[in-house]
Amino acid sequence: MHILILGAAGMIGRRLTKRLIAEGKLGETPIDKITTFDVFPSQIHSDEIRIEDIAGDVADRSTIESLILDRPDVIIHLAAVVSGEAEADFDKGYHVNLDGTRQLFEMIRAQEDYHPRVVFTSSIAVYGAPFSGAISDEFLLAPMSSYGTQKAICELLLNDYSRRGIFDGIGIRLPTIVVRPGKPNKAASSFFSGIIREPLAGLEAVLPVDDSVKSWLASPDAAAGFLIHAATLDTAPLGARRCLNMPGVAVTVAGMIEALREVAGDAPVARIRREPDPAVRAIVDNWPEEFDPARALALGFTADPDFASIIRAHLRDQQK
Amino acid sequence: MHILILGAAGMIGRRLTKRLIAEGKLGETPIDKITTFDVFPSQIHSDEIRIEDIAGDVADRSTIESLILDRPDVIIHLAAVVSGEAEADFDKGYHVNLDGTRQLFEMIRAQEDYHPRVVFTSSIAVYGAPFSGAISDEFLLAPMSSYGTQKAICELLLNDYSRRGIFDGIGIRLPTIVVRPGKPNKAASSFFSGIIREPLAGLEAVLPVDDSVKSWLASPDAAAGFLIHAATLDTAPLGARRCLNMPGVAVTVAGMIEALREVAGDAPVARIRREPDPAVRAIVDNWPEEFDPARALALGFTADPDFASIIRAHLRDQQK
């Protein structure tokens, strides 16, 4: 089996790639080859599995064509301009997040007798206020950002291309992923990781929203697990609605801080500095707070048990 | 005021244009000029209002650019490949219905200090089974056709461009329009008009679905009224969700036939021949049957009183 990972150099892409290499198979099928693609080389190596490491623009036609001509069995599409950047740069967001994805779908359509599994990473940013209760897969897609709009459009395309038998698509709407390692990125949700990661590393972290802000969170490991499960499950039960809310942990910022205190004591908590940012607040206010992921749970997707476990997983990762 | 009508030579476009000419104003503002655009010249004339009649491809870049450089105050976008054709011709449907609309939006964005009202005609084909009860504006967009997918994507784009202040957009999801004059078209819904229009003209009509099929219908006059109201209403109460289900008449095929009998007697009813067509049935089965247009009604949109009135309006039109 040959797996193509678009966006493989990113945080989730790297984790996914390494886990696939470690497992050596996807479901029951041995993996022969993984193509890692991103803006930068992923530089992930394996002794057992052939890794082809390619750098380029996911929205570039000839680049995508060459990847698809290789006819990977499974395509996991993680490449995207993040929410804050897609809002700041209208053209770049639409170019990469919409045109890049649509071009990928079109390249698959252009191949004869080629119907791969396509796993698309969508986002809970496809939803927008007003909300009423926990969000199920039947809730209206009403994004309040260009990023969410682009993801929602790609979901519609994925459903239509799958309905027409062009490929076997599945979209998963990732919760906000915490704790991201490394540095803050341009996602409006970046602070959710920052207020855990920075204090644990002895650094100050800025909290731009109120303690009452509630969010739907999953660990990087859970995200990699969602993607692998999406790549292997039977898509027939999905019917025509191939995009799913993933299970997560619903927690307020106050709850996150309490879990941080529980796991690491008072000192890290004291390093969180409250500095409200209306721009971040405006984006986050339009994100949903809680989900009803019944459909994903019934299909076998599994979430983290609670937020303290997410922090502990981050600490374990840091010690590797 | 200058109004641009894209798709002006179509059935609704012609009716709308003639009504605007007859009224001489849009809301309270006198109309100076109407640009009618379609694949064919619309050939609608007026002594009082300047009519510019242009034929071309709505998806052609330079054509759309020249229309937008003229900076119309209101753009009413009706141009589309119909549902049956968009399903049969994947490329043509996406090219016209998605790329054409997006290019229009982009051309508006490219102009400095230009923020027209844009009225986009969407369709109830943005919805797909399973349904539960009457469909409100909060129901998930889950199209079961490429046409519905293209319309749903344009709705998302319209919301995002409006949210960003690029233009002042409003989308209206038209019910199935009956009774269409003229000949059957490639829309899967064409028979809804055919089973009234043909028998009244002394011709046989084919009914490709069961008598129990229920639909959501509006007359051509009601549709023109929706568009004019959408072009003039205050969009502030819409918030970020700028697309609306229009009010209509919920009626079964059996109910349509009974109304035909009520208005015109037994002879026309005898000219309806039942010839089930699984392809049409498959499309229609995935359309919603009944709506809750509370939001549109509150905003002042008005529907036909019942199906017999729709037939009578058709008979009056035929006598003009």
Rounded Cα–Cα distance for residues B118 and A313 (Å)? 50
Q: What's the structural domain count of chain B? A: 1
A259: DSSP letter? H
Cβ separation of B146 and A164 shorter than 8 Å? yes
- Shortest distance between the Cα of A217 and any Cα of chain B, in A, equals 23
pLDDT on residue B44? 96
Cβ separation of A142 and B90 shorter than 8 Å? no
The ipTM of this complex is 0.94
Rounded Cα–Cα distance for residues B213 and B169 (Å)? 33
Residue A97 pLDDT greater than 80, yes or no: yes
- Of B94, B114, B127, B147, which one is the catalytic site residue? B147
- Shortest distance between the Cα of B146 and any Cα of chain A, in A, equals 6
Q: Which residues of B touch A157 (CB under 8 A)?
A: 149, 153
Q: What is the mean pLDDT of the segment spanning A186-211? A: 92
Evaluate whether A84 touches A187 at the Cβ level (below 8 Å): yes
Residue A84 pLDDT greater than 90, yes or no: no
Q: Which residues of B touch A105 (CB under 8 A)?
A: none
Q: Which residues of A touch B144 (CB under 8 A)?
A: 163, 240
Interface mutation target, options B89, B108, B156, B166, chain A, most CBs of A under 10 Å: B156
Q: What is the mean pLDDT of the segment spanning B176-184? A: 89
- Shortest distance between the Cα of B138 and any Cα of chain A, in A, equals 6
Q: Which residues contact B258 (CB under 8 A, 6 or more apart)?
A: none
Cβ separation of B143 and A156 shorter than 8 Å? yes
Q: What is the mean pLDDT of the segment spanning B191-195? A: 95
B277: DSSP letter? -
Q: Please say if B114 is a catalytic residue.
A: no
In a domain, B195, yes or no: no
Give B251's strand partners. B215
Rounded Cα–Cα distance for residues A72 and A52 (Å)? 12
Residue B187 pLDDT greater than 80, yes or no: no
β-strands B29-30, B25-26: how paired? antiparallel
Percent of chain A's residues with pLDDT above 70: 100
The 10 Å CB-count burial string (b at 16+, else e) for B194-208 is bbbbbbbeeeebbbb
pLDDT on residue B212? 93
Residue A17's pLDDT band, with cuts at 50, 70 and 90, is very high
Rounded Cα–Cα distance for residues A198 and A37 (Å)? 29
The per-residue pLDDT of chain A, averaged, comes to 95
Say yes or no: A83 contacts chain B, CB-CB below 8 A: no
Rounded Cα–Cα distance for residues B185 and B88 (Å)? 14
B142 closest CB neighbour out of A90, A146, A241: A241
Residue with tokens 């109004």: B3
pLDDT on residue A289? 84
Residue B205 pLDDT greater than 80, yes or no: yes
Helix residue ranges, H only, chain A: 11-23, 61-69, 83-88, 90-93, 101-110, 146-163, 190-200, 220-232, 253-264, 266-270, 278-285, 294-298, 307-319
Cβ separation of A146 and B156 shorter than 8 Å? no
Q: Which helix (H) or strand (E) holds B264?
A: helix B253-264
Q: Which residues of A touch B156 (CB under 8 A)?
A: 141, 143, 149, 152-153, 156
Residue A233 pLDDT greater than 90, yes or no: yes
> Which pLDDT tens digit goes with each residue over A128-144?
988 888 999 999 999 99
Q: What is the mean pLDDT of the segment spanning A140-169? A: 97
pLDDT on residue B207? 96
Interface mutation target, options B153, B161, B167, B242, chain A, most CBs of A under 10 Å: B153
Radius of gyration of chain A, Cα coordinates, nearest whole angstrom: 19
Domain boundaries, position A125: 2-175+220-247+290-303
Give B6's strand partners. B37, B77
Residue B117 pLDDT greater than 90, yes or no: yes
In a domain, A205, yes or no: no
Residue B132's pLDDT band, with cuts at 50, 70 and 90, is confident
In a domain, A54, yes or no: yes
Residue B245 pLDDT greater than 90, yes or no: yes
Cβ separation of A143 and B160 shorter than 8 Å? yes
Q: What is the mean pLDDT of the segment spanning B245-269? A: 97
pLDDT on residue B318? 87
Q: Which residues of A touch B146 (CB under 8 A)?
A: 160, 164
B146 closest CB neighbour out of A139, A141, A160: A160
The identity of residue B113, as a single letter, is D
When comparing pLDDT for A258 and B286, which is higher?
Answer: A258
Residue A15 pLDDT greater than 80, yes or no: yes
In a domain, A278, yes or no: no
Residue A128: closest CA among A138, A140, A115: A140
Q: Which residues contact A119 (CB under 8 A, 6 or more apart)?
A: A74, A75, A76, A77, A169, A170, A171, A172, A227, A230, A231
- Of A94, A127, A147, A161, which one is the catalytic site residue? A147
Q: What is the mean pLDDT of the segment spanning B267-280? A: 94
In a domain, A142, yes or no: yes
In a domain, A70, yes or no: yes
Percent of chain B's residues with pLDDT above 90: 89
The CATH number of residue B224's host domain is: 3.40.50.720
A58: DSSP letter? T
- Residues 122 through 181 of chain A touching chain B, CB cutoff 8 Å: 128, 138-144, 146, 149, 152-153, 156-157, 159-160, 163-164
Residue B290's pLDDT band, with cuts at 50, 70 and 90, is confident
Rounded Cα–Cα distance for residues A4 and A17 (Å)? 10
- Among chain A residues, the shortest Cα distance to B110 is held by A91
Percent of chain A's residues with pLDDT above 90: 89
The per-residue pLDDT of chain B, averaged, comes to 95
Residue A186 pLDDT greater than 80, yes or no: no
- In SS3 terms, B193-248 reads as HHHHHHHHCCCCEEECCCCCCEEEEECHHHHHHHHHHHHHCCCHHHCCCCEEECCC
Residue A280 pLDDT greater than 90, yes or no: no
How big is the A-B interface in CB pairs under 8 Å?
52
- Among chain B residues, the shortest Cα distance to A158 is held by B149
Residue B114 pLDDT greater than 90, yes or no: yes
Residue B110's pLDDT band, with cuts at 50, 70 and 90, is very high
pLDDT on residue A189? 83
Q: Which residues of A touch B138 (CB under 8 A)?
A: 140
Cβ separation of A140 and B138 shorter than 8 Å? yes
Residue B184's pLDDT band, with cuts at 50, 70 and 90, is confident
In a domain, A20, yes or no: yes
In a domain, A102, yes or no: yes
Cβ separation of A163 and B140 shorter than 8 Å? no
Residue A252's pLDDT band, with cuts at 50, 70 and 90, is very high
B140 closest CB neighbour out of A139, A157, A163: A139
Q: Which residues of B touch A160 (CB under 8 A)?
A: 143, 146, 149
The DSSP-derived string for B116-139 is -EEEEEEEGGG--S---SSB-TTB
> Which pLDDT tens digit goes with each residue over B20-75?
999 999 999 999 999 999 999 999 999 999 999 999 999 999 999 999 999 999 99
The DSSP-derived string for A188-199 is TTHHHHHHHHHH
Interface mutation target, options A150, A156, A166, chain B, most CBs of B under 10 Å: A156
